[in-house]
Structure 1
Amino acid sequence: MNTQQPIIEAIQNGDLHALHHAIEDLLVSADANEQYEMADYLMNFGYLKQADEIYAHLVYLFPEEAQLKIDRATVLMELEAEDEALEMLMDVKEDAPEYPQALLALADYYQMQGLYEVAERHIDHAMELLPAEPLLLFAKAELMMEMGRLSEAARLYEEVYATDKEIAGVRIIERLADVHRQGGSYEEALHYYQHALKDTTSADLLFGAAYASFQAEQYEQAIRYLEDLKVFDPDYFAGYLLLAQSYAMQENNKKALEVIKEGITRDEYDKELYLFAGKMAIKNSLPEEAEAFLRQAIALDPEYMEAVLTLVSMLSNDERDEELIEIVEGLHTIDFEWSTLSTFAAAAYDRLEDYEKASKHYANAYQDHDDDALFLEKYVYFLLEDGQHDKAKEVAKKLNALQPEEQEWLDLLTRFDEQ
């Protein structure tokens, strides 16, 4: 009797009730090898609880079989039953041939818990037992990459790549490209991306190659990769912003705006796209479009600092003071405090002759901008107009320290001393 076929049919039909009964029959009628095969089969199709049921049965039958404990622990970790998984792995004896594999599984467990140093110790122990094992080198490289120890990760990936081009379904050349990109070695990363793309094309590879090209200031090449990416996967949203930025770096602002608008039609909830669209509209002398894009970015995130600053700067340049103040005071109502905005609000209230509020915002901005000569210049004259001579003298001294060559501040300090 074929005890495996009912399980296969139950999976194909999505019939959990039939699958339960088929597994019961398997555990009674099939030999251990067949049961083991079906546990692996169930794992591959995502039936983790059912696979664990079989592994638990096999562990009960063969309590000394280390491989079964490791396999069951792997399933239990996927099921988030970490404590039970840890118990299984700790039960593997050091003299077992599978012990390095158990150490690697333990490293995975500790890595999942964020205990990276403990994970590293377990991998290192396994590597002492099997120093030339590529899987262990790869595991340590993955851990180093996650820990941000990128140069060490790159060295280990190189060592793996010398003997194995792929491990556990991962192409090592792609990892080398990614780790060099993350480490800021963009030309080295680009070298690996280009080699990887000779064998296969994916959206991530095209974007990675484009990003490395952009950072290496090879903007024309970045554009070629990103235009290919648009064709390969039009919904790879991150590509639109990088493509627009690449055109902008070539000072092709019209094309940059066109691309970023296209990106917005694909992803209308990405605030970064609206911000960049606003900036490109400004460069293309389209102030109304720029404002609309910036306001949309802020609508998506009222505390989006760069978008708020860009819009407030626009309004300040146009002296649209009531609208500027509405934005700043609106942010105050949601307890968003940012002293940079007070520099604009102070000037706006000053122009509107609301000197009490202007004074409040100048004082607030002064706390964080006492090294900003342009701000201090406005502030010192406001203080003089407001009759706050002692404070004006303090600010004038800061201006003199920042711009000792400016006779204006020396003259102002001299007048203070004469009074």
Structure 2
Amino acid sequence: MPAYEQMLQVIETGNLQLLHQQLSQFLLEASLEEQYALYEQLAQLGFLQEADEVLQHLQFLLPDEPQLLIDRAIVLMELGQEDEALSLLLEVDPKSEEYVQALLTLADYYQMQGLFEAAAKRMDEALTILPNEPLLQFAKAELLFETGRFLEAARIYEDLHAHNVQVDDVSLIERLAEVYRAGAAYETALQYYKQALEQELKPDVLFGAAYASFQAGEYPYAITTLEQLKTLDPDYFSAYLLLAQSYEMEEQVEQAYKAIQEGLTRDEYDKALYLYAGKLALKMGKAQEAIQYLQEAIALDPEYMEAIIVLMSLYRKEENYEAIIQLYQALENEQFDWSALYPFMAKATEALELYDEAAKWYDLAYQDFAEDVAFLAEYVYFLIEEGHRDQALIIARKLAQEEPAIENWQHLVESLQQ
């Protein structure tokens, strides 16, 4: 059996000890083509150390081959030896045919590291050498897309699409839809999404089309698309929240509630679904169901601020002041302190006639809510009830200034001045 086929069988066994034993002998006997083919197999299967060993041997035999520098740099990057990899790439002769590939490899590395300016510099250098190479232009568009330069990326994608460029398994129509959606050009994005869906129904494309149509205010199309997505992939969890929101925008609250409940049967760990279910239940007058959903959301994330505020507001509306205090104490036990909750505690302790506590909470809340008219309106009457007329006068004057059209505040100022 030829040595190359024997090595392939050893690789298939996964026996590293046997692989190391036979690799050295193979490198002494095999042809250059067989050695390179073995490197490709090893790298593809994740045997990176062994792949690097083969490349080092090939470099010894072919010290002037630039492709080996690039191949080994890629392997070393995978192994976490970035400094050595970069040194190898910088050794590639700018006059060689492989120099553009080295520049792209450098650009990919810098892009993965978040060094986008360095990546763009290498990309631009490659384009000066091959300005009309479609794959280079596509790579440039991808970099622009990732860095938020959506309009520039879209122009390149548009040009490539107009010239019927094919890029592996990438659909340029889908890319155009995505880049326009990312740039908030939802109507244009939707046009491309519809073209993409004419070619093939894909879950991600269906969701993208639904999102773009929702943002463009085309709620019926969003509903139709998301219902289609549910049929194609019932476990596409993101679809349910957007579907519920679309139904609500069409004032079909019952359908929205049904959609969000269906979503919770698919994904019982999505706090956003519980929050939205709570809001819909409130809208439908189902206070107890709303409380349960909001409690579930907070149980999943004890610091879920939006859910906490909604639940606190509901408790306050229901005049369940004990529940407000219990919820705050539970949060406090988790070392969670948020000044947005102070007005709730102030009102709750006041309602329960815990006036010293209420005074403390009102004072704390005033630091962040000194411009909040609703809070000030409660605070001023609390101060009056507690006999702090001088402080109440300061608050009353502020209210009269903030809402001069409301005569009640001016009357209150005059009363306190007397």
The answer to whether the aligner puts 1:220 opposite 2:240 as a matched pair is: no
Alpha-carbon distance in 2 for matches of 1:285, 1:6 = 73
* Structure 1 residue 131, shift from structure 2 partner: 1.0
Q: Select between 294-303 and 48-57 the one with higher mean Cα deviation.
A: 48-57
Aligned partner of residue 153 in structure 2, secondary structure: helix
Alpha-carbon distance in 2 for matches of 1:160, 1:387 = 76
TM superposition score normalised by structure 2: 0.94
Q: 1:163 to 1:47 in 2, by over 3 A?
A: farther
Alpha-carbon distance in 2 for matches of 1:19, 1:252 = 65
Q: Select between 91-100 and 153-162 the one with higher mean Cα deviation.
A: 153-162
Q: 1:394 to 1:166 in 2, by over 3 A?
A: farther
Aligned to 1:144: 144
The answer to whether the aligner puts 1:204 opposite 2:229 as a matched pair is: no
- Residue-pair matches, total: 418
The answer to whether the aligner puts 1:130 opposite 2:146 as a matched pair is: no
Q: Is the 8 A contact 1:207 1:226 kept in 2?
A: yes
* Structure 1 residue 157, shift from structure 2 partner: 2.1
Alpha-carbon distance in 2 for matches of 1:16, 1:408 = 86
* Structure 1 residue 251, shift from structure 2 partner: 1.7
* Structure 1 residue 13, shift from structure 2 partner: 4.5
Alpha-carbon distance in 2 for matches of 1:223, 1:278 = 21
Alpha-carbon distance in 1 for matches of 2:230, 2:22 = 47
The answer to whether the aligner puts 1:256 opposite 2:256 as a matched pair is: yes
Alpha-carbon distance in 2 for matches of 1:197, 1:25 = 55
Aligned partner of residue 223 in structure 2, secondary structure: helix
Q: 1:255 to 1:162 in 2, by over 3 A?
A: same
Q: Select between 392-401 and 71-80 the one with higher mean Cα deviation.
A: 71-80
Q: Select between 233-242 and 154-163 the one with higher mean Cα deviation.
A: 154-163
Q: What amino acid sits opposite 1:302 in the alignment?
A: P
Alpha-carbon distance in 2 for matches of 1:208, 1:184 = 12
Q: Select between 160-169 and 393-402 the one with higher mean Cα deviation.
A: 160-169
* Structure 1 residue 17, shift from structure 2 partner: 4.5
Aligned partner of residue 114 in structure 1, secondary structure: coil
The answer to whether the aligner puts 1:360 opposite 2:333 as a matched pair is: no
Q: Is the 8 A contact 1:274 1:296 kept in 2?
A: yes
Q: 1:10 to 1:277 in 2, by over 3 A?
A: farther
* Structure 1 residue 417, shift from structure 2 partner: 3.1
Aligned to 1:40: 40
Aligned to 2:373: 373
Q: Select between 349-358 and 19-28 the one with higher mean Cα deviation.
A: 19-28
Q: Is the 8 A contact 1:6 1:22 kept in 2?
A: no
Aligned to 2:383: 383
Alpha-carbon distance in 1 for matches of 2:7, 2:236 = 38
Please list every run of 5 or more consecutive structure 1 residues that lacks an aligned counterpart in the other structure: none
Q: What amino acid sits opposite 1:149 in the alignment?
A: R
Q: What amino acid sits opposite 1:350 in the alignment?
A: E
Q: What amino acid sits opposite 1:2 in the alignment?
A: P
Q: Is the 8 A contact 1:209 1:225 kept in 2?
A: yes
The percentage of counterpart residues that share the same residue type is: 50
Q: Is the 8 A contact 1:240 1:259 kept in 2?
A: yes
Aligned to 2:110: 110
Alpha-carbon distance in 2 for matches of 1:187, 1:11 = 52
Q: Is the 8 A contact 1:274 1:297 kept in 2?
A: yes
| 1:132-170 residue CA offsets vs partner (Å, 9 max, x unmatched) | 112221222222222112222222222333335442432
Aligned partner of residue 384 in structure 1, secondary structure: helix
Alpha-carbon distance in 2 for matches of 1:282, 1:265 = 20
Q: 1:305 to 1:130 in 2, by over 3 A?
A: same
Aligned to 1:319: 319
The answer to whether the aligner puts 1:398 opposite 2:385 as a matched pair is: no
RMSD: 2.0
Q: Is the 8 A contact 1:383 1:389 kept in 2?
A: yes
The answer to whether the aligner puts 1:351 opposite 2:367 as a matched pair is: no
TM superposition score normalised by structure 1: 0.94
Aligned partner of residue 63 in structure 2, secondary structure: coil
Q: Select between 244-253 and 4-13 the one with higher mean Cα deviation.
A: 4-13
Q: What amino acid sits opposite 2:409 in the alignment?
A: W
* Structure 1 residue 239, shift from structure 2 partner: 1.3
Q: Is the 8 A contact 2:393 2:417 kept in 1?
A: no
* Structure 1 residue 15, shift from structure 2 partner: 4.4
Q: Is the 8 A contact 2:134 2:165 kept in 1?
A: no
Q: Is the 8 A contact 2:187 2:212 kept in 1?
A: yes
Q: 1:231 to 1:135 in 2, by over 3 A?
A: same
* Structure 1 residue 25, shift from structure 2 partner: 4.8
| 1:200-259 residue CA offsets vs partner (Å, 9 max, x unmatched) | 232211111111111111112112221222222222211111112111211222222222
Q: 1:47 to 1:199 in 2, by over 3 A?
A: farther
Aligned partner of residue 368 in structure 1, secondary structure: coil
Q: What amino acid sits opposite 1:298 in the alignment?
A: I
Aligned partner of residue 209 in structure 1, secondary structure: helix
Aligned to 1:302: 302
Alpha-carbon distance in 1 for matches of 2:101, 2:44 = 20
